[in-house]
Amino acid sequence: MEKHWWQEVVVYQIYPRSFKDSNGDGIGDIGGIIEKLDYLKKLGIGAIWLSPVYASPNDDNGYDISDYEAIMAEFGTMEDMERLITEAKKRSIKIVMDLVVNHTSDEHQWFLEAKKGKENTYRDYYIWADPKADGSAPNELGSTFSGSAWEFDEASGQYYLHLFSKKQPDLNWANEKVRQAVYDMMNFWIEKGIGGFRMDVIDLIGKVPEKMITGNGAKLHDYLQEMNKATFGKHDLLTVGETWGATPEIAKLYSNPKRQELSMVFQFEHVALDEQPQKSKWDLRPLAVAQLKEVFAKWQTELGDEGWNSLFWNNHDLPRIISRWGDEKNYRVKSGKLLAILLHLLKGTPYIYQGEEIGMTNHLVSAIEEVDDIESINMYHERLAQGYKPAEIINAINVKGRDNARTPMQWDDSQHAGFTTGTPWLRVNENYPKINVTQALADKDSLFYTYQKLIQLRKDNPLVVWGDFHLLKTAPEVFAYTRSFKEKTWLVVTNFASEANEFHYDGAIKELILSNGPTPSQLEKVVLMPWDAFVVEVVKS
Ligand code: TEU
Ligand code: CA
């Protein structure tokens, strides 16, 4: 495989609204991000995935865009954005923009025009359909944010499609003019010197609504090849597709370099392991570590040289990983280190979501009034109407809701965690006096320094980027694997449990690389204490 910079870096995701407020209005902004670039440089990351900063009425916090070539006033100006790109570049950090082109806001000029009537030039930029004979929606397609995916437009007597909120009408990718307009906009950003695109729900753009097909439609890959040619193909940019239902076979369609589509996929198979099969993210069940191993091992081995994967536990849509699969109560830092070590020594490009590096946790609510996220709110009302008990729904929101990831970044122990001098747009987690960046930087054993070390190991050792992966047969809750490159083999051993376990390996320790506790002196019989994790170079016997 030809080598690219995006295979060797670690990406840091920023959710601008919650990262750092620079002017006291309670909302994070671009000025705040610039203030913190030195912090990110210290961590060692090579790129920032910036959640949307474009003009937006914020029905879905920026994932509903009303102007792709303007910056949201609350976040700053285009000049601020250009300054961010330049200042990041000075620190060898690239800015990867969120590209949300499955849909726009209903306040986008295109949609305002389209709504004017069937004859409007922009009508076909979106997806319209006549009602059924009884006036009801064209078909049963549902929105990810609950209810029907069709919204009736009184004026024209037709429905328009929205796979997310009704303020997020779906663009009609079958229309060549839409595709060209998107490519022009992408080139506008490429010319500003950005490092790439994270493509929001890109698996949906080939949809065929009349056949009930949403993900992985027949035209999807033609569009991506066309996009590649028309935009980033001439530059070495990081392009990562948010691809919910991808299998390794599908991932190769997106990311096999020979096909000239995207750099990598961002797929969620591991993230669904604590939900009941065939149900939704809200229908909970405990994680089986044995399954987690299986899923990771499958992705590590099956892509081979024909694809590239992202490695992540968290993003702005997911609950905090230490609360979810670590042991927040008894081993917050230690389990956090295990999760970091386990993930960052796999093959693929690792992503860190803001606050993950200091071990931020979920924030629990007791009533729906405390929730901001549209997905959670809509689901609450839908399930209430279906007869679920409020307490049961609130429990699901506390475990899986998106606000968990969106509470403000905890910078220090001053009021509002140093995020703002005003009133934060979303409540700060009350554990901020204990969990914050200042504390983490002052404690040499903090999670921050484990992340920093892992990023450095990736820079210094081609084995971490390129080595072959091999899963070891172990006790169900021991996740252990080797990475081998040329003559070298590293052994990564993690005890993914709050109980002790045993482990053994046929080989000898050559050198200690990293651990989150004591390291064994031999490998014949190792007793692993709760959440122990260590990495050693070994000589196989
Ligand atoms: O997410 C896609 C998506 O399907 C999520 O809504 C997902 O179903 C849910 O959040 C799982 O937790 C992307 C963005 O990441 C998300 O923030 C947006 O709301 C969504 O697209 C619409 O743009
Ligand atoms: Ca602000």
CA of 19 to the centre of ligand 2 (A): 10
CA of 471 to the centre of ligand 1 (A): 31
Tell me which amino acid residue 371 is.
Answer: V
What is the spatial distance between Cα 531 and Cα 528, in angstroms, rounded to a whole number? Answer: 8
pLDDT computed for residue 2 by the predictor: 82
pLDDT computed for residue 540 by the predictor: 85
> What are the tens digits of pLDDT across the range 462-519?
999 999 999 999 999 999 999 999 999 999 999 999 999 999 999 999 999 999 999 9
Long-range contacts of 72-81 (CB under 8 A, 24+ apart): 74/17, 74/25, 74/27, 74/29, 75/16, 75/17, 75/27, 75/28, 75/29, 75/30, 76/29, 76/30, 76/31, 80/29, 80/30, 80/31, 80/34, 81/30, 81/53, 81/192
303-323 as b/e: b if 16+ CB within 10 A: beebbbbbbbbbbbbbbbbbb
Share of the chain above pLDDT 70, in %: 100
Tell me which amino acid residue 144 is.
Answer: T
> What are the tens digits of pLDDT across the range 524-534?
999 999 999 99
Atom of ligand 1 nearest to the CA of 144: 8
402 CB under 6 A from ligand 1?
A: yes
Interhelix angle 328-344/447-460, nearest 10 degrees: 10
Q: What is the CB neighbour count within 10 angstroms for residue 276? A: 12
Mean pLDDT of 286-307: 97
Of the residues 242, 317, 375, 403, only one is catalytic, namely 242
In this structure, which residues have their CB less than 5 angstroms from ion ligand 2?
A: 21, 23, 25, 27, 29
Q: Answer whether 403's CB lies under 8 Å from 363's CB.
A: yes
Q: What is the CB neighbour count within 10 angstroms for residue 85? A: 18
**Is a pLDDT exceeding 90 seen at residue 166?**
yes
**Is a pLDDT exceeding 90 seen at residue 289?**
yes
Nearest CA to ligand 1 atom 3: 201
Q: Answer whether 224's CB lies under 8 Å from 218's CB.
A: no
Q: Which of 18, 56, 64, 201 to mutate to test the pocket of ligand 1 (most atoms within 8 A of CB)?
A: 201
Structure tokens of 239? 């392009």
Is 200 known to be catalytic?
A: yes
Q: Answer whether 158's CB lies under 8 Å from 130's CB.
A: yes
317 CB under 6 A from ligand 1?
A: yes
Mean pLDDT of 302-322: 97
Q: Kindly tell me the burial class for residue 3, based on how many C-beta atoms sit within 10 Å of its own C-beta (0-12, 13-18, 19 or more).
A: exposed
> What are the tens digits of pLDDT across the range 260-278?
999 999 999 999 999 999 9
What is the spatial distance between Cα 33 and Cα 88, in angstroms, rounded to a whole number? Answer: 10
Nearest CA to ligand 1 atom 12: 317
Q: Answer whether 170's CB lies under 8 Å from 126's CB.
A: yes
**Is a pLDDT exceeding 90 seen at residue 1?**
no
> What are the tens digits of pLDDT across the range 118-152?
999 999 999 999 999 999 999 999 999 999 999 99
Tell me which amino acid residue 205 is.
Answer: I
Q: Model confidence at 541, in pLDDT bands (50, 70, 90)?
A: confident
Tell me which amino acid residue 259 is.
Answer: R
CA of 184 to the centre of ligand 2 (A): 30
Q: What is the 3-state secondary structure (H, E, C) of 201-223?
A: CHHHCCCEHHHCECCCCCCHHHH
Structure tokens of 237? 């940019």
